[in-house]
Structure 1
Amino acid sequence: MLVMGLGLQGSGMASARYAAQQGAVVRVTDMKSPEVLAPSVRALAGLPIEFILGEHRDEDFIWADVVIRNPGVPRTSRYLLLAQEHGAQIEMEIGLFFLACPGRIIGITGTRGKTTTTSLIYEILRVHGQAPVVIGGNVAGVETLSLLPQITPETLVVLELSSWQLEGLAPHSISPSVAVMTNIYPDHLNTYNGMEDYAEAKANIFRFQTEHGIAVFNYDNSWTRSFGLEAPGETWFTSFEHGGSFPRSALVDGVPTLVEPLAIAETPLKGRHNLENILLATTTARLLGVPESVIVETVRRFKGVSHRLEEVCEWRGVRIVNDSTSTSPIAGQVALEAFEQPIVLVAGGNTKHLPLEQWPETIIKRCRDVILLPGSGTDELLPELRQEIERQGVIDPIRGIFDDFHQAIDAALALTHPGDVLLFSPGFTSFGMFLNEFDRGDKFVAYIREKAKDQ
């Protein structure tokens, strides 16, 4: 068995560990260097696994009977096609997990908000305490396959599922028994053949449900509203604009005729997008039988997740916010709309060739000062910002592009005044300067906390 993509976030390691523990002859291949992957290799020490790092070799893919591909590997990879030509079966970690999992799976997907929604659903179910609950899927550092020994038929299994992971369900025609879809926006279009292809990958979360399944969709997003009309099981919508949730049966000519109002409990989370996430999570919890009192109290205490509009600290009267998982323009735009205070923005990185849409306009409208990091995405953004400056007739807020990350943060801090928000929301991917968006966020938080010691 060949594991394609060891990675640093858990999926490749879990696949290799699981395969070795099942008695397979395991070989792992990854284009990253042995130095970068050393932590992952150490985590698998003692298992009979062969590592081929820093390259992919044709001979390994010809050798393999089964190839487990990392979610980051595109379906069209020539190595996967080579393996298929030689009779290999292509699998993904999440597909193997679904086939072996005895628990009830609650799957959450979407372009934005899936991590927050997943974490809140998990926390509500954990606090309720009526059944064992575990969390996994597209969660940094979690080896989902390694959860199997602790899962029984009574366990509730909460999984964040990316579009790439959901591709792994289609060959087996399986979907989680409870499916939640937050929204669909342009993303990963460097991997997919347009929005239809990307959205169809997401649709695997409900596509293979039976009439006994449950699905919850965000009515306020056109893609998820449309998908909600196709789901085969019990289907509910949530709507911030309509102020609550409603079953599909309440729709007449596409408009809800009866909405169950959901008073959103006091929450420390900022932005409309987070209120949409809360609506999805609380509606799902109600459908799973969680009492209102548990839901309200959990929402009140829930402070969100790392790297997603995470309030790091206050520095000389300035709120420092880490939104490093902002890897698309729509994410960058949503982050800016979450604050009313003056914003000093740190943005930029490498492109996924996504439409910038209203992000440049929002940057110029909402930000007093802008610091940019280098990258192909920044090269796309900069001329659009210049056009917006001219169109809006405002003073240029762009203070430069900084090749050195620490210098960029120092420059941003120097531009702040008490009452401001320093927002680190790149809007692009991190590769080149960082290992990934989590590494990027960790480095930002560490540097800010070091600076805060001296204030």
Structure 2
Amino acid sequence: MRIIKSKLYALLLQTPMLKLRDQKVVVMGLGRFGGGIGVTRYLVQQGARVLVTDQLPESKLAQSVAKLKSLPVTYRLGGHDHEDFKCADIVVVNPAVDPRSNAYLQTAIDHRVKLTSEIRLLAAALPDRNRVIGITGTAGKSTTTAMTGSILSACHHTGKTWVGGNLGGSLLPHVNEITAEDWVVLELSSFMLEGLDEDHWSPHIAALTNLSDNHLDRHGTIDAYAVAKQSIFNHQHAQDVAIFPPHLNHYFTSFAQYKPLHLPKATIPLLVPGMHNQINAHLALLVCEQAGIDRQQAIGALREFP
């Protein structure tokens, strides 16, 4: 692996904070498993006028709707309506939905409606990006994120550790509980990163597990997919840290100065088997060392994972 201390983006770039109070916000997709619940709660807390729309009928969304029954939310279930997307101020969309191929989102774009996502709202609302760790990659990112969160939970004693993004539930309803002493660990997909790149946002510590062909139905080519993954580093500042495998230098040397940092050859005693988990554990260890965690304490925490 390599650690890069990027010097290209010396200016502090802030993620724009959307005005939400009294805004007409459409949440596109509630989901049978409640994927839109967290963002809906947050939007109501912020004073937005929220409409939740989903292709599924109410009968299939009953559990999710029940969790929001106390909130002043309007529903359009069993299908979307173009008028909702024309008249909204903001549309919150799942990053996995490609606006280029979705007729409703094209309607919103044509009417100059702002598109955002749960992760973009979270990035804008977090108290300090210098306490944010982002982990991406084709494989291993969920395990590495979970390992990183586990180490920090065990070893970081001056604040809490929050794990979110593509792993676990939405952190948005808890954003007012997150302090500048806490660490936030986010698993970030290529789809999430495309939106965060539009907001000129990167985490303080960014790590890429690996890169291979994936999601080419959306990105088209491996090079375009690499560009989406690379954006986790694009807006880092001089004091930030990036970590990626050395064989991917040809994708990333154009924007960052770096120095080699080799993985130790010794294995870490783990409860989870496999060389892939050794790689994940070493990356999580590397990330946590950059967060100021003592190496031996971190190894001790990894021995107890999961």
TM-score normalized by structure 1? 0.58
Where do 5+ consecutive residues of structure 2 fail to align?
Answer: 1-24
CA contact (8 A) 1:262 1:279 kept: no
| Partner Cα distance (2:212, 2:263) in 1 | 27
Give the match for residue 259 of structure 2.
249
Q: Does 1:84 align with 2:109?
A: yes
Q: 1:260 to 1:13 in 2, by over 3 A?
A: closer
| Partner Cα distance (2:116, 2:93) in 1 | 6
Partner SS state of residue 61, structure 2: helix
CA displacement, residues 217-248 of structure 1 (integer Å, 9 cap, x when unaligned): 123xx4x4434534547xxxxxxxxxxxxxx3
1:129 aligned partner, one-letter code: H
1:56-455 to structure 2, matched below 5 A, reads 56-76=80-100, 77-103=102-128, 104-130=131-157, 131-140=159-168, 142-219=169-246, 222=247, 224-230=248-254, 232=256, 248-250=258-260, 259=262, 261=264, 263-303=266-306
CA contact (8 A) 2:136 2:209 kept: yes
| Partner Cα distance (1:283, 1:231) in 2 | 22
CA contact (8 A) 2:51 2:73 kept: yes
| Partner Cα distance (1:19, 1:201) in 2 | 27
CA contact (8 A) 1:11 1:93 kept: no
Q: 1:33 to 1:183 in 2, by over 3 A?
A: farther
The offset of 1:97, in angstroms, is: 0.9
Deviates more, 1:70-79 or 1:171-180: 70-79
Q: 1:201 to 1:259 in 2, by over 3 A?
A: closer
Partner SS state of residue 270, structure 2: coil
The offset of 1:182, in angstroms, is: 0.6
Equivalenced residues, count: 278
Q: Does 1:36 align with 2:64?
A: no
The offset of 1:301, in angstroms, is: 1.3
2:166 aligned partner, one-letter code: N
CA contact (8 A) 1:210 1:232 kept: no
Where do 5+ consecutive residues of structure 1 fail to align?
Answer: 234-247, 251-257, 304-455
Higher relative contact order (CA 8 A, sep 6+): 2
1:21 aligned partner, one-letter code: Q
TM-score normalized by structure 2? 0.85
| Percentage of pairs with the same residue | 38
CA contact (8 A) 1:213 1:232 kept: no
The offset of 1:292, in angstroms, is: 2.1
Q: Which has the larger radius of gyration?
A: 1
Give the match for residue 238 of structure 1.
none
Q: Does 1:17 align with 2:41?
A: yes
CA contact (8 A) 1:175 1:208 kept: yes
CA root-mean-square deviation: 1.9
Q: 1:36 to 1:173 in 2, by over 3 A?
A: same
Q: Which runs of 4 or more aligned residues in structure 1 lie more than 3 Å from their structure 2 counterparts after TM superposition? A: 8-11, 224-228, 230-233
1:134 aligned partner, one-letter code: W
| Partner Cα distance (1:33, 1:185) in 2 | 37
| Partner Cα distance (1:227, 1:176) in 2 | 19
CA contact (8 A) 2:155 2:301 kept: no
